[in-house]
Amino acid sequence: MATVTAPAPGRRRRTPLARREARWAYLFLAPWIIGFLIFYAGPMVASLWLSFTEYDVINPPEYNGLDNYRELMSDPAVARSLGNTVYYTALHVPLVMLISLGLALLLKRVGRLQGFFRTVFYLPVMTPAVAVGILFLLLLNTQDGLINRALGLVGIDGPSWTTDPHWVMPGIILMSLWSLGSTVIIYLAALQNVPRDLYEAASIDGAGPWARFRAVTLPMISGALFFTLIVNTIASLQMFTEVYTMYFGNRETQNTFNSDAASFYVIHLFQEAFQFLHMGFASAMAWLLFAIILVITLAQVKLSNRFVYYEGEDQ
Amino acid sequence: MTTAVERSAAAPVSGIEPARAAARRPPAEEARRPLWHRVLFIAALVGAAVIFMLPFVWLVSASLRPREYVFAPGFLPTPFSPENYAEAWQAVPLLTWFGNSVVVGVAAAAAVTLSSAWVAFGFAYFRFPGRNVLFGLVLATMMLPFAVTMIPTYLIWSKLGLTDTQVPLWAGNLFGSAFYIFLLRQFLLALPREYFEAARMDGASYPQLFWKLAFPLIRPALLVAFVFEFKASWTDLLKPLIYLRNEQLYTLPRGLKVVLDRFGYGGEQQWEIVLAGSVLATVPMIILFFLAQRHFVEGIATTGRKG
C-alpha cells in the first residue's frame, strides 16, 4: 500500500487540545459518516432483509425465508445471465490485459509523439457507453457493418454478430476491447517506472530482449498487472450500459433479437427489480453477485501473493 | 453504472506512479535498432492507432450522410447532409437533454469534489481514535457492487418524493466518495505539515486551514476529481434509467437510448438521427479530454483508476 500516515503531532497524552482536535476531526468526517450510514450501511441492511422477502414496492414486503435464494439456484434465466457474464469476463479480461500490454510496450518506445498516440488509445474511453453501444450495433451489422466489410476484404464471410445467438457474445467482447485505454495508461506508467539500470544490468549479464522482458519487465510491472486483473474482473462482472443499450429496454428489439444470448447478470437484476418489480428477488441476486465478486477477488489476491513483486518488501 | 464500477476500481498499487518523462528511452538508443525492426514497430503502432480511430471517423462521417447512405462504403461524408443534425434537433429535445447533462454533471462533480476534499482533510490532518478503521471503511465501500445498495437507495429517494427529479443523480455526492477521498488525501499528505502548524500559530481556525491553505494547494487534484466525476455523470445511463420518467428531465445518455429505440431498431431505421445524437453526446467528452488531458492521465496513472 502506498499510503503514508500523517506525521505525529508530537504529543502522546490526551490533552484538552487533543480532544478539541478530535472533535474537529469528526466534524470534517461528518459528511462521509452520514453518507455512509444513509447510502451504504442502511441500504446494505435493508437489501439483505429484502432478499428474504417478496416485495413489489406497492405492497409491504412479505417474509418468505430462503425462497428467493432457492429460486435463484433453479432459475434458468439467472443461470443463463450468470453464464454469459462469466464467459464474457473470462475472455474480456485476459484479452484486455494482453492487448493493453502490447500497446503500452509500443507506446513506451515512442518519443515525442507519445502523447498523441496515448490520446488515440484513450479517446474511446471518453465516449459515452450508450454511444459505444449504438456505434457497435452499426459496426457489427451483418451486411453493411464496417467490421464485416473489413472481413470481406480478406475473403472472410463475417458472421451475424448482432442476431446469431452464437455470435452475440463475441461481438460484445470485440466492442469491449475498443475501450481498453485506461489499462494501457496504467501499464505505460508502470513500464516507465522500471529503473533503467535494471535493464542495463540484465544486458551486461547477457540477457536478450525476451529474457529482459521475463526477468525485469514482468516482475517490475506485476503490481500493475495484478491491479488491472482485479479491477477489470470486477468491472466486467457488472457489465451493463453498452449491452443494455444494444439489446434491451425496447420491447421490439427484445423480441426481434435474441436477447437471451446477450443477457448479463446486472441487466437481468435490473429488469427483475425495475421492470417486474421483484425487489426481493433482485436483492437476493445482488447479494449473490457480491459474494461472487468477493470470492473471485480473494482468490486473485491469494494468487497474487505468489506472483506479484512489491518494491521495498524484499530484503 | 460506470461510476460504481470505477469507484470499486481504485486502489493503491505499488509500481503505478506518474509517468516520468525522464524514464523515456533516449532517441539514440532507438536509432541503434535494425531498420526492419523499426519499420515493424511503426507499422504496428500506426496500424493499431488506425484501428482505434476508424470507429470515430465512421461515426462522424455516417452522421453527416443522408439516411440511405448511412451504411455506404467509405469514410467520407458524401453525399454531405448536415441537415441530419437539424432533423435530430427537431425530432427530440436534444438541447434540453444537453442542458440537463451539463447541470447534473456540474452539480455531481462540484458536490463530490468539495465534500471529498473536506473529508480528506479530516483524514490527512488530524490524528484521532479510530482513524485507520474509518479510513479502511472508506476504502471498503469501493468494493461494494452498486447493485447491492441500488434498490434501498431507490426506496429512500422514492419516500422523499424525489424520484422523477434529477436530485438522486447528484445529491448522493454531497457526502464524499471513497475514491476521491483517497485521491485527495494522498495529495494532502504530501503537503509539508509546517505550513499548517505556522498558520495555526498565526491563529487560523481549522476550516480556515482547509479553505485558505489546503484547498488552493491541491487544486490540480481537485481538478482531477472534478473532471472524472463530470465524465462519470455525463456517461451514466443506469441512474437516469432508474429515476427519470419525464422526458424533459432526461440526460443525454438516457435520451440517446430513447432515440435509438424510437428511430433505430424497431423504429423507422432513421439511423442518421441516432448517429447525430451519438456524436453530440460524444463531442463534449472529447473536448473535455483535450482541455484536461493532463488531469485524466495523472489521475489514472497515480491511482490506477479505470477511467
Least confident range from A107-121, A226-240, A247-261, B280-294: namely: A247-261
A253 has a pLDDT exceeding 60: no
Please indicate whether, in this complex, the C-beta atoms of B127 and A196 are within 8 angstroms of each other. Answer: no
User: B142 near B81, Cβ under 8 Å?
Assistant: no
A208: cell is 536478450
User: B80 near B241, Cβ under 8 Å?
Assistant: no
Instruction: For chain A, give the percent of residues with pLDDT over 90.
Output: 77
Q: Which residues in chain B are contacts of A120 at CB distance < 8 A?
A: 49, 52-53
pLDDT digits (tens, 9 = 90+) for A82-137: 999 999 999 999 999 999 999 999 999 998 899 999 999 999 999 999 999 999 99
Whether residue B162 sits in one domain with residue B56: no
Helix (H, G, I), strand (E, B) or coil at A279: helix
Structural domain of residue B47, as residue ranges?
33-81
Going from the C-alpha of B296 to that of each of A126, A230, B234, the distances in angstroms are 10, 21, 15
Let me know how long chain A is: 315
User: Alpha-carbon distance A48 to B148, whole Å?
Assistant: 8
Whether residue B201 sits in one domain with residue B72: no
Whether residue B153 sits in one domain with residue B91: yes
Residues contacting A302, CB < 8 A, separation 6+? none
User: Alpha-carbon distance A5 to A33, whole Å?
Assistant: 21
Domain ranges of chain A: 19-68, 74-307
CB nearest A266 (choices: B56, B147, B265): B147
Q: Is B28 part of any domain?
A: no
What does residue B266 show for φ and ψ, rounded to 5 degrees?
80, -15
> Among B10, B207, B41, B229, which residue's Cα sits nearest to residue A27?
B207
Interface test with B, best of A3, A14, A24, A134 (most B CBs within 10 A): A134
- pLDDT averaged over every residue in chain A: 90
User: A161 near A147, Cβ under 8 Å?
Assistant: yes
- Report the residue of chain B nearest A190, measured CA to CA: B16
> Among B289, B288, B228, B297, which residue's Cα sits nearest to residue B2?
B228
CATH at B134: 1.10.3720.10
Whether residue B59 sits in one domain with residue B142: no
Whether residue B189 sits in one domain with residue B41: no
Counting the structural domains of chain B, the total is 2
Interface test with B, best of A11, A54, A135, A217 (most B CBs within 10 A): A135
- The tens place of each residue's pLDDT in chain B, 307 residues long, gives 333 333 333 333 333 334 444 444 555 566 677 889 889 999 999 999 999 999 999 999 999 999 888 888 888 888 999 999 999 999 999 999 999 999 999 999 999 999 999 999 999 999 888 899 999 999 999 889 999 999 999 999 999 999 999 999 999 999 999 999 999 999 999 999 998 999 999 999 999 999 999 999 999 899 999 999 999 999 999 999 999 999 999 999 999 999 998 888 766 788 999 999 999 999 999 999 999 888 888 777 766 554 4
Task: Look at the alpha carbons of B2, B3, B4, B10 in this order and tell me if their dihedral is positive or negative.
Answer: positive
User: Alpha-carbon distance A229 to A226, whole Å?
Assistant: 5
Q: At what angle do helices B83-91 and B94-125 cross, to 10 degrees?
A: 80
User: A22 near B128, Cβ under 8 Å?
Assistant: yes
Radius of gyration of chain B (CA): 24
ipTM: 0.89
Q: Does B119 touch chain A (CB under 8 A)?
A: yes
Q: Does B58 touch chain A (CB under 8 A)?
A: yes
Question: What single-letter DSSP state applies at residue B69?
Answer: G
CB nearest A31 (choices: B144, B175, B278): B175
Q: Which residues in chain A are contacts of B274 at CB distance < 8 A?
A: 134
Q: Is B4 exposed, middle or buried (0-12, 13-18, 19+ CB in 10 A)?
A: buried
Q: At what angle do helices B94-125 and B252-263 cross, to 10 degrees?
A: 150
Q: Which residues in chain A are contacts of B155 at CB distance < 8 A?
A: 46, 57
Residues contacting A295, CB < 8 A, separation 6+? none
Whether residue B123 sits in one domain with residue B38: no
Please indicate whether, in this complex, the C-beta atoms of A28 and B172 are within 8 angstroms of each other. Answer: no
| Bridge partner residues of B304 (DSSP) | none
Q: Which residues in chain A are contacts of B73 at CB distance < 8 A?
A: 149
Q: A74-307 has which fold? A: MetI-like fold (1.10.3720)
CB nearest A192 (choices: B24, B147, B236): B24
Whether residue B164 sits in one domain with residue B119: yes
- Report the residue of chain B nearest A37, measured CA to CA: B175
| Bridge partner residues of A63 (DSSP) | A53
- B244: amino acid identity, one letter: L
Q: Note the Cα A129 to chain centre separation in Å.
A: 14
User: Alpha-carbon distance B307 to B206, whole Å?
Assistant: 33
- Report the residue of chain B nearest A235, measured CA to CA: B5
B202: cell is 498565526
Whether residue B156 sits in one domain with residue B48: no
User: Alpha-carbon distance A311 to B15, whole Å?
Assistant: 8
Q: Which residues in chain A are contacts of B261 at CB distance < 8 A?
A: 249-250, 252-253
Whether residue B189 sits in one domain with residue B132: yes
Whether residue B215 sits in one domain with residue B116: yes
Q: Is B201 part of any domain?
A: yes
Q: Which residues in chain B are contacts of A40 at CB distance < 8 A?
A: 141, 144, 149
Radius of gyration of chain A (CA): 25
Give the distance from residue B152's alpha carbon to the nearest chain A alpha carbon, in angstroms.
5
- Report the residue of chain A nearest B259, measured CA to CA: A134
Give the distance from residue B91's alpha carbon to the nearest chain A alpha carbon, in angstroms.
18
Q: Is B106 part of any domain?
A: yes
| A/B interface, count of CB pairs below 8 Å | 359
Whether residue B72 sits in one domain with residue B199: no
Half-sphere exposure of A304 (CA within 13 A, CB side): 20
Whether residue B278 sits in one domain with residue B243: yes
